[in-house]
Structure 1
Amino acid sequence: MKTVILALMVLVVVSQGGSTNNNSKDDNNNGPCDHDRKKSKFPYEDVLNCLHLTKNKEQLVRPARDYKKPTWVHVQMSILGVKEIDQTFISFVWIYMLWEDPHIYWKPQNFGGLDKMTVPADLLWKPDLMIEEMIEKDKDVPNPFITIHSNGFVQYVRELMVVSSCRMQVYKFPFDTQSCTLSLKSIIYPEEELKFEFFENNTLVTEWTRKMMRNESEWLFISMTVEDKSVPRFHQNQNVVIYTITMKRRSLLYIVNFLVPVLLLFGLDLASFVISDSGGEKLSFEVTLLLAVTVMQLILNDILPSSSDKIPLIAVYCIGIFGLMIVSLLETIVVMYLIEKDSASKERKADKNRSLSEDCGDKQCNYDGDVKKWTHCACVCNVSDEPPSELLSVAKEDKRSQLMEESNSLEKHPDELSEAVKGPALLLSRKEGSKPDYWTRVAKKLDIIFFFVYVTVSALFLVVLFSVWTNAEDEKG
């Protein structure tokens, strides 16, 4: 009985010794399950028992024979989808990790050819990876399983919804290209204990990510580059792998829903020059256009982030068009004021002529248009400055015949006297009539000159703006 117990103790020591001699690839791959066994009936259970992978013996420390040598972890990351809201970069990330665990080794031929198997992730040590730019805790359910291989390599895959900070440069919005970074590093391990390796071919990384991507929403994935560097943290250096994702915004939706409508409103403002300035229709029409552009600016304010270093060109576009429409509205007000000035002058003249016509009607005079034709009664009134009643009171009987003769002589030549009065009246009428037409002609000339200047300045503004918009370089975040 004692002999059997001693034999079992030796077997356990030998098996433990074999498990501790299997940290390097240069060893003979001797592990706890490398001894010859009979054909296994339950390979999965036998491998777990052989490797002591039970919940009572969780391996929660870094697996290494020599603690002075780092554990190399191969990492590979892919972007599954991208969203951008309020200067935050929402990405759906797929992270692949592969490392060597010296405690994991078995001979597949001893376990029915079993080369790899999936076990609960809590049974093994895993690299404590974190994304430095993450600002919200990942809400996805972590992968509960991990894959182990017979040669000692462990494979673990994680899918994360990463809400990270990314400074967006919107100077060229919506024709902008953005670059955001995701930095993978360990939470506590320095680079002396944990280092990362990755594919250094950026072209392959880009193509692989493009195949893995499921949803790009409003962003068009362009490229992904990867590099590593050592960064100091708490008096020790850590190895960090930095993935830089470059994306371009899909601008078609913004062109159709924003840029083109604003440009069409501006075209309507140009078309308003054919509307008559005499009424208030043109003024109300231009005010309506200004209100529509104001609504578009409010929509733009909800789209653009407020932390941009420069004024975005799309904001310059809206402000410029809004300013041009304000100037057009002011010109309309000036033209309407000049025309109204003429209208007021004409109304005063019409009132004057109406009162004069009423006075002439009381004296049995005839009024035709702007020309006054005075009849005999008007001539009599002009010849004598004294009222008829006074003339009758001072007239003497001996001069009655003389007055009658003079009256008869005037009655014989009424047309000649009428023409004599008509000439000065006509000149006075032309002089007064020319004043109202003067401001109307000035308003029309001002409207024509302003239209050509307005079109020229607007065309130059749009050409220069779109030229800068197209040729400006993308700023780095």
Structure 2
Amino acid sequence: MFSERVLLIFLAILYPTFAQDCVMLVTKEDAWDKKLHMDKMKDYHFRQPPKNQSCVPVKVHFQLKTFAFDEYADRFTAKMWTRMIWRDERLIWSPEDYGGIKKMIVLPTDIWTPSLKLLNSVEPDYFSMEIEECVVQNNGEVMCVPELIYESFCIAKLRDWPFDVQNCTLQFGDGERLTTSRFSFKGKAMSLGLAEYGNGWYIMMNNFKENPNSDVQLSITLTMERQASGIIVVLTGPCFVLSILNITSILLTVNDYIRLGFSCFSLIGHFTFLFFIDEFLPKHSGDTPVILFFIRDSIILTITSVLFTLVLSKIVKRKTVPFDWVSLVSNKVFFSFGRYLILPRWRVDPDAKDTNNVNNKEIWMNVANILNSAYLVVVIIVYIILFNAYMPKQPPAEY
């Protein structure tokens, strides 16, 4: 009992010393600020726009914070600070009448605010303008800076994928049924800062348009380039390997099934690669990526190589007397400078038992060599054309 009394006496002594720190001191500036709010909000109708203005001029400036482009859903999302500045005659005061106060902080629910709306939003019926605070100057200028997320449709154009360039547009207008605001850009219209990089994309250029007399009063178009250094290695490497496999198979002999098996292996590799890039390739686009045309034509070449191998295997096995024009072509090529252009050069088996038909077989073998060499040149030229026409290329630095 005694100890409890001692503790109470000790706390009573400490209370006056520390309790003074918790006292809320009301300064003269706070008093003037409270009076200013009471005077200006007393007869203020927040649902009505500023007096004597059928359309309130509003200056808008955007500060990009983050952005993302989803090519799978054709959606562009931007998170931005939206600075809006307008003049409200009802909020003008003389600083001398309120202790020299030149600005005050108000809640957006207490004053009229413009209804800036994203017209091409993914959810057109959704409208939200959440503002924490607004700053009012003594001359009636009001500035609100809400942090908003804008999400609009943006159709992906994937012809040059993965080096594709996308143009996404944000269209703004008045969200009210009766237009009460006339929006225009303030200064540079949009600041990027260090936010031009985001989720594998880079904003290369932006374009701004304003037309206060139309439904779309403000328009922002962002030109974005995909950062595809990693993807392009994954794509071009297998394409190059598949083309080398097809060309290499043409250099093999047709006397056994090694060449046929090699060509079939190359064909299987093409289809495997198609299944592989399906994981990376965006699906929702009206454009077909040109790299798919390369794979398509390479598959056609590989199938042709398989069929051509079967034809050559039949030719080299022939023992009948060749036609005159066949013998003429063989002699013209192999008894002239043209024999140095034949690659590879297959020869008749010297251990052949049927010596009477060795000469005939040699002529047919020479014809097979000529056809194979010509086909090799054609395939190489076609692949060069395909790489030049269909392989994705880095776009120019400026658009």
Distance 1:317 1:44, change over 3 A: farther
Is 1:46 the counterpart of 2:28 in the alignment? no
Per the alignment, residue 49 of structure 2 pairs with 63
- Report the residue type matching 1:280 in the other structure: Y
C-alpha contact 1:180 1:245 (8 A) present in aligned 2: yes
Per the alignment, residue 388 of structure 1 pairs with none
Q: Aligned to 1:103, what secondary structure does the other structure show?
A: strand
Is 1:457 the counterpart of 2:386 in the alignment? no
Deviations along 1:337-359, whole A, 9 cap, x unmatched? 445678xxxxxxxxxxxxxxxxx
Is 1:123 the counterpart of 2:110 in the alignment? yes
- Report the residue type matching 1:314 in the other structure: I
Is 1:225 the counterpart of 2:214 in the alignment? no
Is 1:132 the counterpart of 2:119 in the alignment? yes
C-alpha contact 2:184 2:217 (8 A) present in aligned 1: no
Aligned length: 337
- Report the residue type matching 1:98 in the other structure: I
- Which of 281, 297, 308 lines up with 1:303 in the alignment? 281
Deviation at 1:65, TM superposition (A): 1.8
* Equivalent-residue separation in structure 1 for 2:219 and 2:147 (angstroms): 18
Distance 1:437 1:41, change over 3 A: closer
* Equivalent-residue separation in structure 1 for 2:318 and 2:104 (angstroms): 95
Is 1:76 the counterpart of 2:61 in the alignment? yes
* Equivalent-residue separation in structure 2 for 1:306 and 1:190 (angstroms): 37
Deviations along 1:132-179, whole A, 9 cap, x unmatched? 111137799933322222221221122233221122333333333322
Deviation at 1:130, TM superposition (A): 0.9
- Which of 136, 145, 149 lines up with 1:148 in the alignment? 136
- Report the residue type matching 2:89 in the other structure: P
Q: Aligned to 1:285, what secondary structure does the other structure show?
A: helix
Deviation at 1:334, TM superposition (A): 2.6
Deviations along 1:49-98, whole A, 9 cap, x unmatched? 22227xxx87432332225x421111112433232323222222332111
**Matching of residues 397-408 of structure 1 within 5 Å:** none
Distance 1:141 1:324, change over 3 A: farther
C-alpha contact 2:129 2:146 (8 A) present in aligned 1: no
Deviation at 1:330, TM superposition (A): 2.3
Is 1:256 the counterpart of 2:233 in the alignment? yes
Per the alignment, residue 106 of structure 1 pairs with 93
- Report the residue type matching 1:71 in the other structure: V
Per the alignment, residue 198 of structure 1 pairs with 185
C-alpha contact 1:92 1:160 (8 A) present in aligned 2: yes
C-alpha contact 2:157 2:285 (8 A) present in aligned 1: no
Q: Aligned to 1:122, what secondary structure does the other structure show?
A: coil
C-alpha contact 2:211 2:217 (8 A) present in aligned 1: yes
* Equivalent-residue separation in structure 2 for 1:40 and 1:264 (angstroms): 77
TM-score of the superposed pair, with normalisation by structure 2: 0.71
- Report the residue type matching 2:81 in the other structure: W
Per the alignment, residue 23 of structure 1 pairs with none
Deviations along 1:237-267, whole A, 9 cap, x unmatched? 6461111212222232332121232122212
Deviation at 1:40, TM superposition (A): 4.3
Distance 1:449 1:239, change over 3 A: closer
Is 1:316 the counterpart of 2:316 in the alignment? no
* Equivalent-residue separation in structure 2 for 1:270 and 1:119 (angstroms): 75
- Which of 141, 152, 162 lines up with 2:150 in the alignment? 162
Per the alignment, residue 17 of structure 1 pairs with none
Per the alignment, residue 277 of structure 1 pairs with 254
C-alpha contact 1:89 1:166 (8 A) present in aligned 2: yes
* Equivalent-residue separation in structure 1 for 2:389 and 2:159 (angstroms): 15
Task: Report the aligned-residue RMSD.
Answer: 3.6
* Equivalent-residue separation in structure 2 for 1:126 and 1:212 (angstroms): 30
Per the alignment, residue 447 of structure 1 pairs with 372
**Matching of residues 7-26 of structure 1 within 5 Å:** none
Deviation at 1:184, TM superposition (A): 0.9
Unaligned runs of 5+ in 2: 1-26, 320-350
Distance 1:159 1:454, change over 3 A: same
- Report the residue type matching 2:122 in the other structure: I
Q: Aligned to 2:122, what secondary structure does the other structure show?
A: coil
TM-score of the superposed pair, with normalisation by structure 1: 0.61
Distance 1:90 1:259, change over 3 A: farther
Per the alignment, residue 21 of structure 1 pairs with none
Distance 1:41 1:460, change over 3 A: closer
Deviation at 1:114, TM superposition (A): 3.5
C-alpha contact 2:196 2:203 (8 A) present in aligned 1: no
C-alpha contact 1:194 1:239 (8 A) present in aligned 2: no
Report which of the two structures shows the higher radius of gyration computed on alpha carbons: 1
- Which of 332, 346, 352 lines up with 2:309 in the alignment? 332
C-alpha contact 2:242 2:266 (8 A) present in aligned 1: yes
Unaligned runs of 5+ in 1: 1-37, 232-236, 343-368, 372-428
C-alpha contact 1:72 1:196 (8 A) present in aligned 2: yes
